[in-house]
């Protein structure tokens, strides 16, 4: 792991591979929150086989300084502008999952010239009134005894699958707990205010995102259901939606091969018709 | 010495712990409020208010109420309403609201106003408790828990300035901006009512109380007994560091008390209500089940430590003797002689000037509560008071001469 400095604020950065850069914005259960540094998620290793992958930790996540007291989604977008400037990225392919998908679109709205193509994997951020929405922070409350099954059931289609229990094991080491709880606090700083992990203003703004966008969506997402996926598809002018079976909120962990195939082919040929 | 009578106003009608926890994950935040029966609730408020009024008649120095939301643990979402009733039903006792959860009030000058009202209504008998609020409350009120500590300290500054600085004045903070701070009425006690802060042992809170000259009231019944000893030592050291004289009454111990004619009788009576208290009512912020501890409410290292302690305690008692563990955490359960001697020893060991006795705990029946209050107030308190006051006068002569 390396880091970059934005004035006096550090940003933790995972940097892998060579070639055309991809800026990867991580989700709730992802690199920087559940993976050991030096053991990146399989999806990122696959992407890094042919491209340079740049994955910064969001403010407040392990190794990255926090934004100020009043920071909202717009400040996170300004923060990403600083990151993109510091990394000297011109028009970059952005892949954002979960929380990172929300931040990617907040950035793309305001700085469209800096984004070439957008891949959003089960993004948070869009409030869809009356859509089924799981309450993540309530599920993430710890238990005295009994581990992390409740929050796993929110993040994964199968809470007891190997992928889920390796990411959030019931007997998490102290070090991993610190990383996980630190990440939760960072997510809460931005997303605690209701509606949870959403920006109510986003809905009216999405029509301005004209960048070609792939929406990749785990069908069994309990935080952002398929109803959310359809709303994203409706609101974005140039988006295509792909539903991923046998996956929930954490597609990059649950179905890395499927995610890799879709992402790599879309980024190579964004205008080609999508086929499963 | 201060001997206070502390009430949580618990809901006593949940099924026993095991049965309860099969159906419900906690007594906080999400426990269906259909379980609250308003008709029984009316009788309960009457009973609990009568207990608080009886505390004055029995010679306690003060009564204590506190604030909790959306739970069966404590039925006072607004303790100030209960305190207002008490201003009219008592004449002598101090009335301590321990406390108002400042970050849940926006603007927190509401607390400055209501506490000033209570101080004036009571003829200057208010002790103002200021608290961050429990973790579950941040779920119930949807206040951002990552801001809890900073909001709290800013709000404390605002409340104290509102009481002491001639208004109107503008207040500019990170979280609160008020162009005209000018509360009517102002408190009767000058410069302001005493400030007490309850805590579970966070070193930051203890140091803060010492630096600001606030009382620190340690909540004892969830932790092993040596935990309060560490808190007391830290408070005394922090007071010395701050260059203040140590005033024993500013160090409080919040503990369950049950007195009967013999140790055996006391233990037999108290065990089930203690189990109900820790197993049912506290489920949701301590214990083996769901812990409504929101992200960022305490630092990750403190949270990990908190969970480790919970697990250690749960595992230690899972195989071993639960009864003994319960009585270890609640040492003031016993016959008159036992409680007298233990209390005096603890007062001297911790240089403790305030004891907040939780006597109507769990689902303890009203007649048992009343009998225990009488024994404690008539047989234990005068005996300990006489010896403790004499001991303090020798240990801390500056306190005696100041009076």
B163 closest CA partner among B201, B137, B135, B194? B194
- What Rg, from alpha-carbon coordinates, does chain A have? 17
Question: Which range marks the domain in which residue B318 is found?
Answer: 2-402
Give the pLDDT of residue A255. 98
**Average pLDDT score over residue span B299-315:** 85
What tens digit of pLDDT does each residue of B122-163 get?
Answer: 999 999 999 999 999 999 999 999 999 999 999 999 999 999
pLDDT above 90 covers what percent of chain A? 91
A132 touches chain B (CB under 8 A): no
Give the pLDDT of residue B310. 83
The beta-strand segments (E) located in B240-363 are: 251-256, 258-260, 333-335, 354-358
The structure's pTM equals: 0.95
- What Rg, from alpha-carbon coordinates, does chain B have? 20
Give the pLDDT of residue B317. 67
User: Which residues of chain A have a CB within 8 Å of the CB of B144?
Assistant: 188-189, 192-193
Q: How many CA atoms lie within 13 A of B388 on its CB side?
A: 27
Say which CATH architecture domain A2-268 belongs to. Answer: 3-Layer(aba) Sandwich (3.40)
Torsion sign over Cα A48, A52, A56, A62? positive
**Average pLDDT score over residue span A180-188:** 98
B285 closest CA partner among B29, B14, B5, B99? B29
Q: How many C-beta atoms surround the C-beta of residue B246 within 10 A? A: 18
Give the pLDDT of residue B403. 43
Longest dimension (CA), chain B: 61
Q: Is B226 helix (H, G, I), strand (E, B) or coil?
A: helix
A36 closest CA partner among A189, A167, A188? A167
| pLDDT over 60 at B401, yes or no | no
**Average pLDDT score over residue span B209-218:** 97
B232 closest CA partner among B211, B246, B218, B213? B218
What tens digit of pLDDT does each residue of A7-47 get?
Answer: 999 999 999 999 999 999 999 999 999 998 888 999 999 99
Question: Is ipTM strictly over 0.90?
Answer: yes
Burial letters B195-204, b for 16+ CB under 10 A, else e: bbbbbbbbee
Burial level of A147, CB count in 10 A (0-12/13-18/19+)? middle
What tens digit of pLDDT does each residue of B91-115 get?
Answer: 999 999 999 999 999 999 999 999 9
Query: Does B292 contact A141 at a Cβ distance shorter than 8 Å?
Result: yes
Query: Does B146 contact A189 at a Cβ distance shorter than 8 Å?
Result: yes
Among partner residues B139, B145, B291, which is closest to A142 by beta-carbon distance?
B291
Query: Does A193 contact B144 at a Cβ distance shorter than 8 Å?
Result: yes
Distance CA B306, CA B376 (A): 33
| pLDDT over 50 at B402, yes or no | no
Q: How many CA atoms lie within 13 A of B234 on its CB side?
A: 20
What tens digit of pLDDT does each residue of B251-303 get?
Answer: 999 999 999 999 999 999 999 999 999 999 999 888 878 999 999 999 999 89
Give B307 to chain A, closest Cα distance, Å: 6
Give the pLDDT of residue B222. 79
CATH number at residue B11: 3.20.20.30
What tens digit of pLDDT does each residue of B327-381 get?
Answer: 988 999 999 999 999 999 999 999 999 999 999 999 999 999 999 999 999 999 9
CB B263 within 8 A of CB B334: yes
Which of the four pLDDT bands, split at 50, 70 and 90, describes residue B176?
Answer: very high
Give the pLDDT of residue B400. 52
**Average pLDDT score over residue span A155-173:** 96
Give the pLDDT of residue A272. 65
Taking CA atoms, B181 is separated from A2, B118, B134, B154, B161, in Å, by: 49, 19, 27, 14, 9
What tens digit of pLDDT does each residue of A90-142 get?
Answer: 999 999 999 999 999 999 999 999 999 999 999 999 999 999 889 999 999 99
User: Which residues of chain B have a CB within 8 Å of the CB of A145?
Assistant: 288-289, 310-311, 314-315
Which of the four pLDDT bands, split at 50, 70 and 90, describes residue A276?
Answer: very low
Distance CA B356, CA B7 (A): 9
Give the pLDDT of residue B320. 63
Q: Which chain B residue shows the shortest CA-CA distance from A142? A: B291
Q: CB within 8 A of B107, min separation 6: which ones?
A: B158, B176, B178
Q: Note every long-range contact of B239-242, with CB atoms under 8 Å and residues 24 or more positions apart, other chains counting.
A: B239/B210, B241/B210, B242/B210, B242/B211, B242/B213
Distance CA B156, CA B159 (A): 5
Distance CA B38, CA B40 (A): 5
pLDDT above 70 covers what percent of chain B? 98
């Amino acid at each position: 792991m390396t880091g970059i400095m934005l004035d006096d604020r550090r940003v933790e950065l995972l940097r892998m591979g060579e070639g055309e850069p991809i800026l990867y914005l991580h989700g709730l259960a992802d690199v920087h929150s559940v993976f050991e540094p030096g053991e990146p998620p399989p999806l990122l290793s696959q992407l890094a086989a042919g491209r340079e992958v740049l994955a910064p930790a969001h403010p407040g996540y392990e190794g990255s300084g926090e934004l100020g007291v009043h920071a909202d989604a717009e400040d996170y977008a300004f923060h990403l502008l600083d990151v993109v400037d510091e990394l000297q990225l011109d028009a970059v392919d952005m892949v954002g999952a979960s929380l990172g998908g929300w931040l990617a679109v907040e950035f793309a709205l305001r700085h469209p010239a800096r984004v070439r193509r957008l891949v959003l994997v089960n993004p948070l951020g869009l409030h869809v009134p009356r859509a089924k929405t799981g309450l993540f922070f309530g599920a993430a409350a710890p238990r005295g005894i009994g581990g992390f099954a409740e929050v796993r059931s929110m993040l994964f289609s199968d809470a007891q699958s190997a992928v889920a229990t390796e990411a959030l094991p019931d007997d998490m080491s102290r070090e991993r707990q610190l990383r996980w709880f630190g990440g939760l606090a960072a997510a809460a700083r931005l997303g605690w205010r209701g509606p949870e992990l959403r920006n109510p203003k986003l809905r009216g703004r999405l029509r301005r995102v004209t960048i070609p966008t792939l929406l990749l969506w785990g069908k069994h997402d309990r935080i952002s259901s398929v109803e959310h996926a359809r709303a994203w598809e409706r609101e974005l002018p140039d988006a295509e939606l792909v539903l991923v079976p046998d996956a929930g909120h954490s597609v990059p962990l649950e179905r890395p091969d499927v995610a890799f195939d879709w992402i790599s082919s879309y980024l190579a040929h964004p205008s080609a018709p999508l086929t499963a | 010495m201060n001997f206070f009578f502390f009430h949580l106003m618990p809901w006593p009608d949940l099924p026993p712990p095991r049965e309860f926890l099969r159906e419900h994950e906690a007594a906080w935040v999400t426990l269906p409020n259909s379980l609250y029966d308003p008709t029984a609730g009316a009788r309960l408020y009457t009973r609990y208010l009568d207990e608080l009024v009886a505390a004055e008649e029995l010679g306690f120095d003060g009564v204590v109420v506190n604030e909790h939301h959306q739970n069966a643990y404590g039925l006072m979402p607004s303790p100030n309403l209960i305190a207002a009733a008490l201003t009219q039903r008592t004449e002598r006792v101090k009335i301590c609201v321990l406390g108002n959860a400042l970050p849940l009030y926006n603007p927190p000058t509401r607390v400055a106003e209501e506490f000033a009202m209570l101080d004036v209504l009571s003829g200057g008998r208010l002790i103002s408790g200021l608290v961050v609020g429990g973790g579950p409350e941040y779920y119930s009120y949807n206040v951002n828990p990552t801001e809890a500590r900073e909001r709290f300290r800013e709000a404390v500054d605002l409340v104290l300035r509102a009481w002491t600085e001639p208004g109107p004045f503008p207040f500019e903070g990170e979280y609160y901006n008020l162009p005209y701070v000018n509360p009517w009425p102002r408190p009767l006690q000058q410069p302001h009512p005493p400030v007490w802060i309850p805590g579970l042992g966070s070193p930051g809170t203890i140091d803060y109380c010492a630096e600001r000259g606030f009382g620190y009231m340690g909540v004892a019944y969830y932790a092993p007994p040596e935990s309060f000893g560490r808190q007391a030592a830290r408070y005394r050291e922090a007071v010395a560091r701050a260059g203040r004289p140590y005033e024993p009454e500013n160090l409080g111990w919040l503990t369950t008390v049950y007195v009967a004619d013999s140790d055996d009788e006391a233990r037999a009576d108290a065990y089930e209500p203690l189990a109900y208290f820790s197993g049912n009512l506290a489920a949701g912020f301590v214990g083996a089940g769901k812990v409504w501890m929101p992200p960022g409410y305490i630092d990750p290292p403190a949270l990990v430590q908190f969970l480790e302690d919970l697990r250690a305690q749960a595992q230690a008692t899972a195989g071993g003797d639960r009864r003994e563990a319960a009585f270890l955490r609640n040492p003031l359960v016993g016959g008159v002689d036992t409680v007298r001697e233990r209390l005096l020893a603890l007062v001297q060991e911790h240089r403790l000037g305030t004891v907040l006795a939780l006597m109507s705990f769990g689902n303890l029946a009203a007649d048992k509560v009343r009998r225990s209050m009488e024994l404690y107030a008539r047989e234990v308190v005068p005996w300990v008071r006489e010896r403790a006051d004499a001991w303090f006068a020798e240990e801390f002569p500056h306190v005696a001469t100041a009076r």
